Structure 1
Amino acid sequence: MNWIYLIYFAFQSTLKMSQQDYLNDISEIKNLMHKSSRFISLSGLSGIMAGIYALIGAALTYYLVDTYSYGTLLLDGWIFRSVMLVLFFVASFSIVTGIILTTRKAKKNGEKIWNQSSRRLIFNFLIPLVAGGLYILIILSQGRYGQTGGLMLIFYGLALVNASKYSLGDIKYLGFIEMTLGLIATAFPGYGFWLWVMGFGFMHIIYGIWMHFKYDTN
């Protein structure tokens, strides 16, 4: 009878090992499918740099408005055009830095910088961003700029949440924070500038540091 128990034990052990191997294979397939459908080479350092650029731009804007416009921003003055130029450079430097650092990380990970996943990421990111940008330009042309900072935060947050389906899912949390700050800014326009600084400046830096140590240092 002992040999029967031995055969039974061997059969059960083999069955358990086969089931475990099967589960491991399923898990590995799911991970591969997850990675293939998402662009995972976003760099945390690019978030840090974007936050630094935003803080520099905010400091320069505050200096211009406070020194030459006595704290009041007029749409038809050179101060307003200067502020728009500062925002343009902040966005440009952030984009260029993001492309450089993300390209470097993608090469390190053996991932193509321009593939189906990255195209989906950019497309879904731009939909809310472009719509929001056009809306902000429309209200600025109508002489209404009190809620501009809040609207920028809201639409940027929507863009992050929308793009998170095709990249690192963690970016949606930054999106939720940006939207929350934007809603507060629209409710209290007098604090819009400082909430903009918090959202685009400090939150980018905090997010970038977190993402860097979570993903970039592995």
Structure 2
Amino acid sequence: MSSEDYLKDISEIKTLMSKSSRFISLSGLSGILAGIYALIGAGYAYWLVSNSGRDYLILEGKTFKLVILTLLIVGLFSIGTAIFLTTKKAKKNEEKIWDALTKRLLTSFIVPLLAGGIYIIIILKQQRYGQTGALMLLFYGLALLNASKYTLGDIKYLGYTQIVLGLLCAVFPGYGFWFWVVGFGFMHIIYGAAMYYKYDRN
């Protein structure tokens, strides 16, 4: 066996092992679009709050409900886009979209995110608004970090970034909105673009 054949076999074995232990069809484009959705949603929420006086601090207030609705719409669009583009990429790569590995990935991601979401709802009901942005970033970063062992390792860097931004947001709560914009908007676009050029472009 020539050295070229040997190296080719080693490469194929490594690829098969990677596919069996990691879900590698995440779409970089979905990250870019998620960031764009977040920036659009943040712009609309900023406009709402700027024209509402203090109404946005009242749970039953119209502005607060519209801001929450905007967050939910951004989340649904981001999830829907990620599912569509990731499924499309998985089919192209002849990779199973739903198996034991995918279930582990989703469980690792959803559990910290769900726990964080419930905790945020609890403190909002207690009218403790100051740390909401920080908690969103922290729990999202922890969810990404927890899920990174089942998918592209690069995603852990996005997780670390969200955690750092969340901690900074906790230190400077008056700038929570802008930390949120950077974390969920610009960082998603930067990460998605990096992943697109690294994995998807070819």
* Aligned partners of 2:56 and 2:63 also within 8 Å: no
Distance 1:152 1:20, change over 3 A: same
Q: 2:116 aligns with which of 111, 132, 141?
A: 132
- 1:167-203 CA-to-partner distances (Å, cap 9, x unmatched) read 0000000000000000000111001000000000000
Distance 1:22 1:212, change over 3 A: closer
Q: 1:48 aligns with which of 32, 39, 53?
A: 32
- Say yes or no: does 1:123 pair with 2:112: no
- For 1:48-197, list aligned pairs within 5 A: 48-69=32-53, 73-197=57-181
**1:214 matched residue in structure 2:** 198
- Decide which structure has the larger Cα Rg and report it: 1
- 1:63-100 CA-to-partner distances (Å, cap 9, x unmatched) read 00001226963333111011000000000000001111
Structure 1: which 5+ runs fail to align? 1-16
* Aligned partners of 2:56 and 2:64 also within 8 Å: no
Give me the TM-score of the superposition, normalised by structure 2.
0.93
* Aligned partners of 1:136 and 1:148 also within 8 Å: yes
Secondary structure (helix, strand or coil) at the match of 1:68 reads coil
2: distance between equivalents of 1:61 and 1:200?
14
Structure 2: which 5+ runs fail to align? none
Distance 1:23 1:210, change over 3 A: closer
2: distance between equivalents of 1:160 and 1:195?
17
Task: Give the number of equivalent residue pairs.
Answer: 202
2: distance between equivalents of 1:69 and 1:194?
19
